[in-house]
Amino acid sequence: MSDAIPFLAPRADVLARRDRIVADLADLLPPECLVHEARELVPFETDAFVSYRRLPLAVALPRTTAEVAAVMRYCHRYGIPVVPRGAGTSLSGGAIPQEDAVVLGLSKMNSILEIDLPNRVAVVQAGVTNLNISESVSADGFFYAPDPSSQLACTIGGNIGMNSGGAHCLKYGVTTNNLLGVRMVLVDGTVIELGGKALDAAGYDLLGLVCGHEGQLGIVTEATVRLIAKPEGARPVLFGFESSEEAGACVADVIAAGIIPVAIEFMDKPAIEICEAFAHAGYPLDVGALLIVEVEGSEAEMDATLKDVVEIARRHGVKTVRECQSATEAALIWKGRKSAFGATGRIADYICMDGTVPLSQLSHVLKKTTEIVDHYGLRVANVFHAGDGNMHPLILFNANDPEDAARAEAAGNDILKLCVDAGGCLTGEHGVGIEKRDLMRHQYSEADLAQQMAVRAAFDPGWLLNPSKVFPLEGRPAA
């Protein structure tokens, strides 16, 4: 399977100069910031999308924006591809390198530079973990809203690259809604500043373009992010339904009614059983689907919102309604949900998909997803951000069986096409990377792709930044 999706052919001239390149990088960086021995490169050969592996030419681990700029100037001058890397938690192959590429890792740039509570912002380096931002301001009554399941490990630079979301994005939005500014190094080493502490910046919305660029427009080294005051209270509630279709219809009606909880998370029966066995969160095991609906505000506000949600859920035959009674119980409920990917990995290999669909299509897409996976003789566990239609079916398979792996990949492709055909798109928060690159033509016309590639080429005419990702290899403009 490692060769099933091709990379661009390595540049022979770059490979021939490997020793010279390593020596030159050693002049730009201290010894502890450069990795080049083969055995030390192995941890960088893949990311969380582990089906594909390539050893990079070398790994640069700069500590400052100036060192990033120096590496970028050098690589640009000599035509060396660069693959940016955060924590390596990408589920779409976004950080997998090539043999002729320098991986530029930002893990050493992990300082919180400023907490500005009067302006409700934080300025952080790109290697700071997502959760660390919230922990740094929690005692002052603030938090950073985007909360992907990998928030303990994933970094803000990677979050910006993929426009990451999380369970609470229904109310607070994804990364782009919480990002105010960046410092970014362009492919030629130029350093630019986009946005800042103000709520809006003059000129074109280049910040909006950068958020979700998958490391193809530049290297983000610092970010200014929005801090939000903690709510007065928060209460997760479990809703159990007989079927996934009923749960999906309930979600659509809740949103259609103008009710916006802070989160609506979905699990089907296989996911419930997997997560409960791991977290012992008290999930009901006699239901076919589960919604975690979290409301927040004052006690009166939470009661009023829940009353409306319960009324809608009853119209869809809800079997179980269980309100959280303590902070400990709430933590367990969210531990189970946020551990879903890891808990699934304990019982099987899996591919995690990331399509989005209109809420009115949830029930239809859930039903068709089961039919697709059944057709390939595989199993699926559905766990996803139901409130914004961001689906994460986990297709279970045996990675040691090439035929099983091929069936899983084919099933995943069919599910993503289903999402697009239902009026959604290929990705909600994991990015395109390698995984969805060859499905881009199912989402976009040739004219659409040409325009997107023209924007990309305006930042990187030589296509040196993360070159094998996002766009189909066939039909690209000549570098």
Together in a domain, 116 and 219: yes
* Statement: residue 285 has pLDDT above 60: yes
pLDDT for the residue numbered 90: 93
Residue 471 lies in a domain: no
pLDDT band, residue 49 (cuts 50/70/90): confident
Q: Quick check: is 458 in a domain?
A: no
| Predicted pLDDT at 479 | 62
Name the average pLDDT for the chain: 94
Q: Give pLDDT, residue 476.
A: 83
Q: How many CA atoms lie within 13 A of 198 on its CB side?
A: 6
Looking from the CA of 313 toward its CB, the CA atoms found within 13 Å total: 26
The CATH number that applies at residue 302 is: 3.30.70.2190
Angle at 45 between CA 88 and CA 57, to 5 degrees: 120
pLDDT digits (tens, 9 = 90+) for 184-233: 999 999 999 999 998 888 889 999 999 999 999 999 999 999 999 999 99
Q: Indicate the pLDDT class of residue 432, thresholds 50, 70 and 90.
A: very high
38 within domain boundaries = no
Query: In the numeric block, which tokens belong to residue 346?
Result: 């304990």
- Report how far residue 26's alpha carbon sits from residue 31's, in angstroms, rounded to the nearest whole number: 7
Domain end: 341, 361, 383, which one?
A: 341
Number of domains the chain contains: 3
Residue 44 within any structural domain of the chain:
no
Report the Cα–Cα distance between both ends of the chain, in Å, rounded. 28
CATH code for the domain in which residue 152 is found: 3.30.465.10
Statement to judge: residues 330 and 368 lie in one domain? no
Domain assignment present for 259: yes
Span 105-151, pLDDT tens digits: 999 999 999 999 999 999 999 999 999 999 999 999 999 999 998 99
Task: Give the rounded percent of residues in the chain with a pLDDT score beyond 70.
Answer: 99
Rounded CA-CA distance 169/215 in Å is 22
CATH at residue 409: 3.30.70.2740
Same domain, 199 and 128: yes
Q: What is the mean pLDDT of residues 156-166?
A: 96
Mean pLDDT calculated for residue range 330-345: 92
Residues 164 and 244 both lie in one domain: no
Task: Give the residue-averaged pLDDT of 97-104.
Answer: 96
Average pLDDT over residues 78-86: 97
Are residues 135 and 225 located together in one domain of the fold? yes
pLDDT of residue 52: 85
Is position 81 within any domain? no
Neighbours of 379 (CB within 10 A): 17
Q: How confident is the model at residue 367 (pLDDT cuts 50, 70, 90)?
A: very high
In a domain, 440, yes or no: no
Specify whether 142 is located in the same domain as 216. yes
Q: Answer yes or no: do 207 and 224 share one domain.
A: yes
Average pLDDT over residues 331-356: 92
Q: Are residues 326 and 353 in the same domain?
A: no
The Cα-based distances of 132 to 95, 160, 432 in angstroms read 22, 16, 26
pLDDT over threshold 70, residue 2: no
Domain of 416, in residue numbers: 348-421
Q: Are 247 and 367 in contact (CB under 8 A)?
A: no
Domain stop point among 229, 248, 269: 229
The pLDDT value recorded for residue 478 is: 67
Question: Tokens in use for 47?
Answer: 């990311």
Is the separation of the CB atoms in 352 and 435 below 8 Å? no
The pLDDT of residue 1 is 40
Half-sphere exposure of 438 (CA within 13 A, CB side): 13
Q: 341, 356, 381: which is the final residue of a domain?
A: 341
Same domain, 334 and 391: no
pLDDT for 152 beyond 90: yes
Residues 123 and 195 in one domain: yes
Q: 220 and 269 share a domain?
A: no
**pLDDT of res. 438:** 93
| Residue 242 counted as domain residue | yes
Q: Does pLDDT of 4 surpass 70?
A: no
d(CA 143, CA 138): 6
Mean pLDDT of 427-443: 95
What average pLDDT does range 80-94 have in this prediction? Answer: 95
Q: Within this chain, do residues 123 and 160 fall inside the same structural domain, yes or no?
A: yes
Identify the pLDDT of residue 7. Answer: 86
